[in-house]
Copies of this chain bind each other. A is one copy, B any other.
Amino acid sequence: MNKVDLVVVSDHLYTMTGEGVGYIEDGAMAIDRGRIVAVGRRDEISKEYEGEKALQLKKKAVFPGLIDAHMHTGFGIMRGLAQDTGNWMMYGLQPFDNVLTENERNAGSKLGIIEAVKAGTTTLGDYETNMEFVAGFIHRLGARGNLTHMIREAEKRVYEPGELYLFNRDLGERGLLRNLELYDKWHNKDNGRIKVLFGPQGPDFVGRELLERIYDLAEERDTLVHMHTQQGDRETYQVQKRYGKRPIEWLKEEGFLGERLVAVHLTDARDDEAKVVARSGAGMILCPGSIGIIDGIVPPSVAFQEAGGNVALGSDQAPGNNCHNIINEMKLATLFNKIKYTDPEVMPAWRALRMATIEGARAIGLGDVVGSLEAGKRADFIAIDLEKPSMSPVYSYPMRNMVPNLVYSARGDEVCLSAVEGEIIYRDGKFMNVDEDEIIGEVGVYPDSIGKRASGEFFSINGTNAVFMKEGKL
């Protein structure tokens, strides 16, 4: 008998190994020092392993912890302030984003992160300029972080339509320096729970020379480049104006496509361009809710997958999504693509679940670490309460309905337990290591002051939401 830290037993274990969902009925996992040692049927595992602790998950289904690969959690403090408008950045975000303090962004990050974990996310792909704070919070919370410091050379946050962005070399250098500091301090810390990636904001926001240096540094440090790529017509315009080529064409010619790249959005990419990125070995992150709300567009993830690429899912940001709920992103990924192709079969539920687990892990360089429940991987898993109305009833024969119901019916509150590296971080609505009420309370302190500071610009721009306020529609 092998002694291990923990044996987890569940009626339904979805390992996500193989080409499907790797289902095991009446399954068990032996976990030791944060790693999965063995997975199998309960009777097999219980013969070989004895856990110092046991976790019985009756009437629950266990899945790998879900991966939200691209988030700007700091924006969480602006939830619901930017949607239903064209020119999202100028008409929606800008008046508020321009006035935020570091404390306010950090409060937003805490909010977005606990919201995401409550809906089943265990790996958080956060991407902003307050990552030092976020790393500390994720460290405390016990979740997994795949963090990126945003680097940009474009000087102003907002430009007039048609204006070529002016690059400020110092700004880029400072961003890169902070990304490096973040890397040196946090990469592979917490037993590898936290990884740090490099974050050029996009081919429009960073010049060629800096981009080359970033790629060189990423290679030297064996980490990835996490970059918004052909994320909209504004980017396409900038890159065409500067280099005479569309972004993906330019990135390819300059040698910036490849396995080191995690390409976010591809909103403005044609199918053939998405396939070029996929064939280069890069991963893609699809943010269905955010791009749906902001642009009314369904990015070419299906073409990317057809070309053999791996696609992860992301919730992007709360002003313009407006939530960090990866179950919602799974649902929207499938539904939006069914509509895009007028084809109910084009993206089934299990495919979306793979995108939020093993396929997503591969897309962001964590394919050997998480995304499936198998020996050698870290023990990140969640349990879904099958006695919630949204998951009832449960069928096992002639077909199992738990995956379609998780993707299409679940709301988020079915997640009753989350564990990272074998440690429970959330259970039955409570966090083990942080205080949700305290975070919600803190977040509530800021809106009055933010609103006052933002109101001048908000009313002078007079965007869609300003008009809605005047018309009594908000």
Contacts and interface: CB of A to CB of B under 8 A. Distances in A.
A94 interface: no
Interface string A295-336: 111100000000000000000001001110100100010111
B348 A473 contact: yes
Contact of A389 (B18, B295, B387, B440): B440
Contacts of A455: 397-398
A238 to B, nearest CB: 21
B443 A393 contact: yes
A237 interface: no
A175 interface: no
A409 interface: yes
A473 B95 CA distance: 46
Nearest to A318: B409
Contact of A451 (B350, B396, B450): B396
The number of chain A residues touching the other chain, given as a range, is 35 or more
A128 to B, nearest CB: 18
Given A111-B392, A343-B296, A348 B84 contact: yes
Given A342-B296, A458-B399, A23 B474 contact: yes
B472 A19 contact: yes
Nearest to A80: B401
A348 B296 CA distance: 12
Contacts of A349: 83-84
A464 interface: yes
Interface stretch (A191-199, A258-266, A286-294): A286-294
A413 interface: yes
A157 interface: no
A289 B404 CA distance: 13
Given A21-B472, A111-B392, A392-B443, A409 B80 contact: yes
Interface in A402-434: 402-405, 408-409, 411-413
A368 to B, nearest CB: 22
Interface string A366-395: 000000000000000000000111101111
A454 to B, nearest CB: 6
Given A322-B404, A411-B325, A344 B295 contact: yes
Given A84-B345, A344-B86, A411-B413, A111 B443 contact: no
Contact of A399 (B392, B409, B437, B465): B465
A84 B79 CA distance: 32
Nearest to A404: B80
Contact of A459 (B292, B338, B398, B400): B398
Contact of A88 (B294, B344, B447, B450): B344
B444 A392 contact: yes
A20 interface: yes
A466 interface: yes
A63 to B, nearest CB: 13
B338 A296 contact: yes
Interface in A207-250: none
A387 B348 CA distance: 34
A401 to B, nearest CB: 3
A404 B472 contact: no
B335 A395 contact: no
Contact of A338 (B22, B292, B388): B292
A469 interface: yes
Contacts of A294: 344
A388 B79 CA distance: 13
A81 interface: yes
A159 interface: no
Contacts of A297: 339, 342
Given A21-B472, A296-B339, 8 more contacts: A77-B393, A80-B404, A80-B405, A83-B408, A85-B344, A289-B408, A393-B444, A398-B459
Top-4 shortest CB links A-B: A80-B401, A20-B472, A84-B348, A115-B389
12 contacts: A20-B474, A79-B401, A80-B405, A81-B401, A84-B404, A86-B345, A118-B389, A292-B335, A387-B444, A396-B451, A398-B469, A411-B413
Interface of A: 18-23, 77, 79-81, 83-86, 88, 95, 111, 114-115, 118-119, 289, 292-298, 318, 321-323, 325, 328, 332, 334-336, 338-346, 348-350, 387-390, 392-405, 408-409, 411-413, 436-437, 440, 443-444, 446-448, 450-452, 454-455, 458-459, 464-466, 468-469, 471-474
